[in-house]
């Protein structure tokens, strides 16, 4: 049966409605004074917005010229409480115009004084982007206390994966409801997570349905349907915790997946085959495999880039040459996809494309250069963990390029001349991806080399506690990439990548100079920066001088935010930080107390920290502080140990050297 596989339903179908006000019959355009004045309570009393009503209703229709389609009715009503919620008054609806449509769009805003403003046709702006259309609209006269409401119908000829529905959001929800009426011909499995439903109804009812089947002439009259109604009430806002990835994986939601079709008198038709058939189908698509395998589609691109690629000395150099050519000549338009919008030839002529366009163009160059390379499909971070069991293409958001150098994976993501090869955008580091290799499709780990940063500090402290500081830094990988991005945006030296970290800890610090000493013209290489500052790193008290030798925080306290962790801790990439300082105490002072040296290792060995302090000749103190993280994902159960590790590291970076005035 259809929902035998729904793990969140009991074996028997039943209905419950316990101590709950049923908000299921909400009419568009009719808002009571009670709803206009409604506010969340309890822990969510300070919420920026309050979803009063959110519903998705799924039904099926059969069109003789197109076959079955899903029709989903959306209805949302939300109160905007503070200005922080005003961006929610900008709504964007995107759909593929080849097999989807949006209709019946209505929108209204209710102002606190009771005035209602209904949006008209001219307020709905339609934009075209490749195969997609986007409908955008903005509610007028937004003010604290206003309620916005909109409803629309979404029809899709692709019935395999209906729209997902989440009962819990980042703001509190008074009432969230999912209803569906599904013909028994279509067998769905659930990949969602149950909630504490106040309404939990699943029953079988009979309804009209086409087409007329020759083997069962009465099938079009009334056929069994699964009639579903699930609702949750007073759902608290999702509690954001730092270093959380794919939070929707843990929220109560509906996620249906078509498993098979069984029309009367016919054999069961499985919807899924396997990943091998999937890659074969993709290889024959013009917006995927043929874009980089059919020379006709990329001939002009190759002619333009050939000389630059062929003059490179070795495989790695040819790969990088192709990558840099694409990054210099093609702009990313801000959209991510696994499918291109045009041939690489036309993308070159237009000068821009989505993420798949750019990386398919790169694949075409590598293919023509004789370098094995394949599309690597990934879901972006916070869009959900990929599911490897079923060949579901809609779970992927982005296309990378997978190739190898010296037998090791080398991941490419063309996205502007400032991004080095081998460093995909951070959002793409969602740990697992699928290589669409026609000969050997496979899942692989999406991993990048450890990012490293070294700080070398010279700290000269005077008798008042003021310090003249000179810091040299060298960083690579994502640290270098982030540093260059900060440099490109800064307007004053105080906004530089190193200075701003120090000023965050010492707001009275003054930047004297800043200079890029390494990698100024090479975005792929390490980045070196030298900064000179005046930093109040010492505190004078009677005959004692208290010095803070670690002036750049290695870690922040974000992971020390709660006592109980609800979700796994997820870092996008491994990293290593090293801080070495030479501290010169003022003349007339001697070291009274040094912090003890220590080595910390997490239980799994994935995180380590060492700290040492030693006194040398001439009153100089050497500090060596190292922290490195090799493991990027920790289960929530590991949080207490990792949190304690973080706390101890933060204590180390806040440690104090005690000096005493010599007698």
**Band of the pLDDT at 13, cuts 50, 70, 90?**
very low
Q: What is the pLDDT of residues 550-592, one digit of tens each?
A: 999 888 877 776 778 888 999 999 999 999 999 999 988 999 9
| 137: Cβ contacts below 8 Å, ≥ 6 apart | 91, 105, 107, 119, 123, 124, 125, 150
pLDDT value of position 15? 39
Q: What is the C-alpha end-to-end distance of the chain, expressed in Å?
A: 89
Q: What is the DSSP letter of 215?
A: T
Q: Which residue has the higher pLDDT, 349 or 270?
A: 349
Distance CA 181, CA 59 (A): 5
Q: Which of 285, 300, 292 is nearest to 402 (CA)?
A: 292
Alpha-helix runs per DSSP H in 333-435: 344-350, 355-368
**Strand pairing of 173-183 and 49-63?**
parallel
Distance CA 588, CA 590 (A): 7
**Band of the pLDDT at 20, cuts 50, 70, 90?**
low
Q: Which of 90, 238, 74, 235 is nearest to 164 (CA)?
A: 74
Q: What is the pLDDT of residues 128-183, one digit of tens each?
A: 877 789 999 999 999 999 999 999 999 999 898 899 999 999 999 999 999 999 99
| Domains contained in the chain, CATH given | 2-261 (2.60.40.3140), 275-445 (3.10.620.30), 451-661 (2.60.120.1130)
Element holding 373 (H helix, E strand): strand 373-378
CB 59 within 8 A of CB 34: no
pLDDT value of position 73? 98
Structure-derived torsion over alpha carbons of residues 306, 311, 313, 315, reported in degrees to the nearest 10: 0
**Band of the pLDDT at 328, cuts 50, 70, 90?**
very high
**Band of the pLDDT at 105, cuts 50, 70, 90?**
very high
Q: What percent of the chain has pLDDT over 70?
A: 95
Q: What is the pLDDT of residues 628-641, one digit of tens each?
A: 999 999 998 888 88
pLDDT value of position 131? 78
pLDDT value of position 254? 93
Q: Is the pLDDT confidence value at 22 over 80?
A: no
pLDDT value of position 373? 98
**Band of the pLDDT at 249, cuts 50, 70, 90?**
confident
Q: Which residues pair with 620 in a beta bridge?
A: 584
Q: Given strand 256-261, what is the order of strands in its sheet?
A: 186-190, 256-261, 269-270
What value does the mean pLDDT take over residues 506-530? 93
Q: Which of 230, 249, 229, 228 is nearest to 238 (CA)?
A: 249
102 class by beta-carbon count within 10 Å (0-12 exposed, 13-18 middle, 19+ buried) = buried
Three-state secondary-structure class, residue 483: helix
pLDDT value of position 353? 95
What value does the mean pLDDT take over residues 301-315? 96
Give backbone dihedrals phi and psi of 158, rounded to 5 degrees, phi first.
Answer: -95, 105
Q: What is the pLDDT of residues 414-461, one digit of tens each?
A: 998 999 999 999 999 999 999 999 999 999 999 999 999 999 999 999
Distance CA 384, CA 243 (A): 14
* CA atoms in the 13 A half-sphere facing the CB of 46: 1
Q: What is the pLDDT of residues 375-406, one digit of tens each?
A: 999 999 999 899 898 888 889 999 999 999 99
CB 342 within 8 A of CB 351: no
Neighbour tally for 111: CB within 10 Å: 16
455 class by beta-carbon count within 10 Å (0-12 exposed, 13-18 middle, 19+ buried) = buried
């Amino acid at each position: 049966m259809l929902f035998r596989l729904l793990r969140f339903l009991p074996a028997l179908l039943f209905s419950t409605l316990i101590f709950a006000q049923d908000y299921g019959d909400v009419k568009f355009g009719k808002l009571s004074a009670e709803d206009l004045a409604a506010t969340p309570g309890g822990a969510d009393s300070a919420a920026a917005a309050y979803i009063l009503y959110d519903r998705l209703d799924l039904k099926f229709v059969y069109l003789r010229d197109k076959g079955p389609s899903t029709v989903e009715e959306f209805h949302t009503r939300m109160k905007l409480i503070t200005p922080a919620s005003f961006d929610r008054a900008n709504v964007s609806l995107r759909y593929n115009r080849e097999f989807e449509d949006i209709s019946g769009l209505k929108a209204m805003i209710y102002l606190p004084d009771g005035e209602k403003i209904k949006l008209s046709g001219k307020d709905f702006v339609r934009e075209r982007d490749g195969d997609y259309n986007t409908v955008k609209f903005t509610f007028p006269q937004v003010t604290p206390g206003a309620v916005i409401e909109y409803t629309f119908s979404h029809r899709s000829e692709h019935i395999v994966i209906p729209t997902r529905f989440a009962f819990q959001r980042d703001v509190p929800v008074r009432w969230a409801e999912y209803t569906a009426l599904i013909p028994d011909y279509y067998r769905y499995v659930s990949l969602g997570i149950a909630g504490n439903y106040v309404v939990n109804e699943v029953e079988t009812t009979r309804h009209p349905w086409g087409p007329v089947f020759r083997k069962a002439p009465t099938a079009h009259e009334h056929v069994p349907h699964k009639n579903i109604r699930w609702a949750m009430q007073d759902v608290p806002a999702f509690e954001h915790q730092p270093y959380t990835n794919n939070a929707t994986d843990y929220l109560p939601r509906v996620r249906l997946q078509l498993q098979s079709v069984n029309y009367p008198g016919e054999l069961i038709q499985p919807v899924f085959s396997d990943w091998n058939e999937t890659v074969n189908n993709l290889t024959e698509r013009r917006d995927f495999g043929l874009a980089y395998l059919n020379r006709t589609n990329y001939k002009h691109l190759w002619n333009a880039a050939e000389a630059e690629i062929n003059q490179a000395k070795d495989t790695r150099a040819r790969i990088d040459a192709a990558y840099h050519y694409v990054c210099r000549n093609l702009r990313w338009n801000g959209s991510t996809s696994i499918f291109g919008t045009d041939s690489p030839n036309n993308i070159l002529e237009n000068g821009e494309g989505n993420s798949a366009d750019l990386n398919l163009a790169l694949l075409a160059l590598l293919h023509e250069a004789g370098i094995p390379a394949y599309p690597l499909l990934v879901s972006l971070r916070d869009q959900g963990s990929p599911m490897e069991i079923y060949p579901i293409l809609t779970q992927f958001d982005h296309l990378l390029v997978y190739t190898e150098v010296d037998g090791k994976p080398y991941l490419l993501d063309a996205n502007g001349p400032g991004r080095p090869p081998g460093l995909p955008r951070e959002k793409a580091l969602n740990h697992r991806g699928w290589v669409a290799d026609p000969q050997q499709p496979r899942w692989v780990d999406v991993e990048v080399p450890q990012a490293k940063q070294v700080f070398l500090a010279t700290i000269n402290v005077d008798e008042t506690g003021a310090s003249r500081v000179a810091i040299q830094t060298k960083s690579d990988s994502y640290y270098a990439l982030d540093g260059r991005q900060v440099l490109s945006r800064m307007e004053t030296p105080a906004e530089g990548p190193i200075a701003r970290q120090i000023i965050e800890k010492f707001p009275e610090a003054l930047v004297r100079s800043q200079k890029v000493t390494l990698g100024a013209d090479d975005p792929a290489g390490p980045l070196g920066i030298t900064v000179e500052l005046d930093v109040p790193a010492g505190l004078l008290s009677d005959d004692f001088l208290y010095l803070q030798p670690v002036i750049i925080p290695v870690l922040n306290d974000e992971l020390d935010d709660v006592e109980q962790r609800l979700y796994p801790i997820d870092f996008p990439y491994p990293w290593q930080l090293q801080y070495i300082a030479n501290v010169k105490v003022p003349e007339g002072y001697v070291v009274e107390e040094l912090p003890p040296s220590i080595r910390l290792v997490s239980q799994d060995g994935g995180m380590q920290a060492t700290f040492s302090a030693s006194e040398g000749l001439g009153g100089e103190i050497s500090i060596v502080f190292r922290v490195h993280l090799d493991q990027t994902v920790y289960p929530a159960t590991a949080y207490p140990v990792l949190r304690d590790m973080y706390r101890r590291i933060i204590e180390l970076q806040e440690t104090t050297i005690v000096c005493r005035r010599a007698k």
